[in-house]
Amino acid sequence: MCGIVAYIGKQEAFPIILKGLKRLEYRGYDSSGIAVVNNDSLNVFKKQGKVAMLEEFVTDKDTSGCIGIGHTRWATHGLPTDANAHPHSSGNEKFALVHNGIIENYAIIKENLINKGHTFLSETDTEVLMHLIEEISTQHDCDLFTAVRLALNEVIGAYAIVVINKENDQELIAARKSSPLVVGIGKGEYFCASDATPIIEFTKNVVYLEDGEIAKLSLKDGLKLKTIKNETKTPFIQKLEMELETLEKGGYDHFMLKEIFEQPKSVQDCMRGRLVLNENKVSLGGILNYKEQIVNAKRIIVIACGTSWHAGLVGEYLFEELARVPVEVEYASEFRYRNPIIYPDDVVIAISQSGETADTLAAIELAKSKGATIVGVCNVVGSSISRATDCGSYTHAGPEIGVASTKAFTAQVTVLTLMAMMIGREKGTISDERFTRLMIDLDNIPHKIESVLKTDAQIQKIADIYKDSPNALFLGRGINFPVALEGALKLKEISYIHAEGYPAAEMKHGPIALIDEEMPTFVVATKDGSYEKVVSNIQEVKARKGKVIAIVTKGDKVVKGIADHVIEIPKTDDMLVPLIATIPMQLLSYHIAVMRNCNVDQPRNLAKSVTVE
């Protein structure tokens, strides 16, 4: 959701920023823009639509300059028009600003500024912030660093901003609160971006700005950091571990397909050093300091959104079965406004791929204020959520660029499995024999995912049959119910087919009314505790002439005899089935979306990192 890229140094800024914006396209956006300073003039280029349209728009324009700021905007205040696109200039056209987040008190500030003679060209809250900075800089006759700092003391809301001044091409000013911003430190040059992806090919040395920090990136004075309360801070420089290849498609048509096929490796990476077979133990270093609180928790509350929430639901089955601890799984957006009952001996697990989801962050702050222990399960290293939690385990899935989450989900479920096993082992709620069997089965999961990926051609044929269905139903029971929810979410978000996920037995209580010969029902019908029941549910669909596509355990004959299509997956422990049953669902959605000519990696209206509530 919205992306920022900025550059200052000796190279041409525009191409670096343009490339950076392309790297951030995965976050979701509907317009883009870049401003550069060259010989005391500020040149702003903005365009509704994709970055490629901005690129085309500037072909006959002079974009030179060694300092600039760029932005991809996901519309909040006002339509995605050229005028509302960022950067926004000050009234005197001296400064330009890019902004992620929302200025909540913009209306009152705007009214005050209008009374002082300011006029506005857009409907955005960002332009208001730009004019406020201009007003303060004129009133106080101060430098831009000070003007930005004073202005930020007057605003309520969330922001990551970068500002340039046409009269000073030697520095950029950047600040953040509740919206991420990373500063890259090169040789005689600085980069700034919403995440590290635009920076990685230039430098691995980065500083993640903290909430309430403001940075001056100066070619003369280096990197200076303050809080908006004017306290000086020392920048903490970190080394990025990410590799550039992980940001490329690597021969696949789409990032989503690449990421689906990366799952044998991402699950393996997630378990590396944690599933210690020769010592028959699970070791999660990131939560060791809070092991006692976690093992003795009276209750676990999982907070997350979307696909991460589905992973949390799988976690509920895992923790209850293996660690015998009650679990509640909450939508972060509901939890934060519900005045929930939270005790100091509760453990709250916050799951987030991006680590930036605004609702999940706010829910964490609420749980923290009640004294609960907060454990993070994040993919993006150094993200806001990973820093807001007491402890946590990274999923190590590598950058996920496709907006629809795939490998992050299986990595989240892997971490939750490891946690449940570790707690169960400590508490003695899991027998030695089961623990050892689970260790071996978990270790085999990457190979099993590989074998499921080999069914891709068969899945493609099934996709071709159902690609024009306007609706679809997804069913599963027990630990596979969240798999059904996730299957439905994947299909609807990338192919725009209406899809619903249900616990298979719930079908009789309503959704069965939808079944007719047009309606495909995707069912997880693997050989586990609820197999017989699911078989009955499939019979109920078939009795109403519905089409059934079932995911079954290899060698199954019963479902094969009833369903229209079966996709076989290898046998594994019941608790681990979601890790492999999810894969055919992902492939089905992917192929259907491609066949429908949908933009698979950047579905309409969606953002990868949802930084507004």
> 356 is written with which tokens?
């930036």
Nearer to ligand F6R, 160 or 538 (CB): 160
- Least separation in angstroms between residue 354's CB and ligand F6R is 3
Nearer to ligand F6R, 66 or 404 (CB): 404
Nearer to ligand F6R, 405 or 530 (CB): 405
- Least separation in angstroms between residue 209's CB and ligand F6R is 19
Nearer to ligand F6R, 507 or 581 (CB): 581
- Least separation in angstroms between residue 407's CB and ligand F6R is 11
Nearer to ligand F6R, 480 or 586 (CB): 586
- Least separation in angstroms between residue 532's CB and ligand F6R is 32
Beta-strand (E) ranges in 55-188? 67-73, 88-89, 95-103, 157-165, 168-177, 182-185
Q: Which of 180, 124, 173, 128 is nearest to 154 (CA)?
A: 128
> 597 is written with which tokens?
């000519």
Tell me the CA distances in angstroms from 69 to 48, 100, 144, 322, one per residue in order. Answer: 17, 13, 15, 51
Point out the catalytic residue in the list 2, 192, 305, 598.
2
Asked whether 318 and 479 are in contact (CB, 8 A), the reply is yes
Which DSSP helix (H) or strand (E) runs through 475? strand 471-476
- Least separation in angstroms between residue 609's CB and ligand F6R is 6
Query: What is the Cα–Cα distance from 411 to 417, expressed in whole angstroms?
Result: 10
Q: Please identify the residue of the shown chain whose CB is closest to the bound ligand F6R.
A: 306
Asked whether 179 and 161 are in contact (CB, 8 A), the reply is no
Query: What is the Cα–Cα distance from 525 to 335, expressed in whole angstroms?
Result: 32
366: phi then psi, degrees, rounded to nearest 5: -65, -50
Decide: helix, strand or coil at residue 77: coil
Query: What is the Cα–Cα distance from 283 to 330, expressed in whole angstroms?
Result: 27
Rounded to the nearest 10°, the torsion over CA 488, 493, 499, 504 is: 10
Nearer to ligand F6R, 353 or 526 (CB): 353
- Least separation in angstroms between residue 332's CB and ligand F6R is 8
> 477 is written with which tokens?
């029971």
From first CA to last CA, the distance across the chain in angstroms is 11
Nearer to ligand F6R, 346 or 493 (CB): 493
582: phi then psi, degrees, rounded to nearest 5: -70, -30
HEC string of 187-250 equals CCCEEEECCCCCCCCCCCEEEECCCCEEEEEECCCEEEEEECCCCEECCCCEECCCCHHHHCCC
* Strand 299-304 relative to strand 346-352, pairing: parallel
391 is catalytic: no
- Least separation in angstroms between residue 100's CB and ligand F6R is 15
608 is catalytic: yes
* Longest CA–CA separation in the chain, Å: 81
**Amino acid letter, 507:** M
Asked whether 390 and 364 are in contact (CB, 8 A), the reply is no
- Least separation in angstroms between residue 219's CB and ligand F6R is 35
Q: What is the DSSP string of 553-565?
A: ETT--HHHHHSSE
The DSSP symbol for 402 reads S
Helix%, strand%, coil% for the chain, nearest 5: 40, 25, 35
Query: What is the Cα–Cα distance from 383 to 578, expressed in whole angstroms?
Result: 27
Nearer to ligand F6R, 486 or 568 (CB): 486
Asked whether 390 and 559 are in contact (CB, 8 A), the reply is no
Nearer to ligand F6R, 203 or 582 (CB): 582
Asked whether 19 and 198 are in contact (CB, 8 A), the reply is yes
Point out the catalytic residue in the list 490, 492, 547, 608.
608
- Least separation in angstroms between residue 592's CB and ligand F6R is 15
Query: What is the Cα–Cα distance from 386 to 378, expressed in whole angstroms?
Result: 6
Nearer to ligand F6R, 145 or 394 (CB): 394
Residues near ligand F6R (CB under 6 A) are 305-308, 352-354, 357, 360, 404-405, 489, 493, 609-610
- Least separation in angstroms between residue 76's CB and ligand F6R is 16
Tell me the catalytic residues: 2, 608
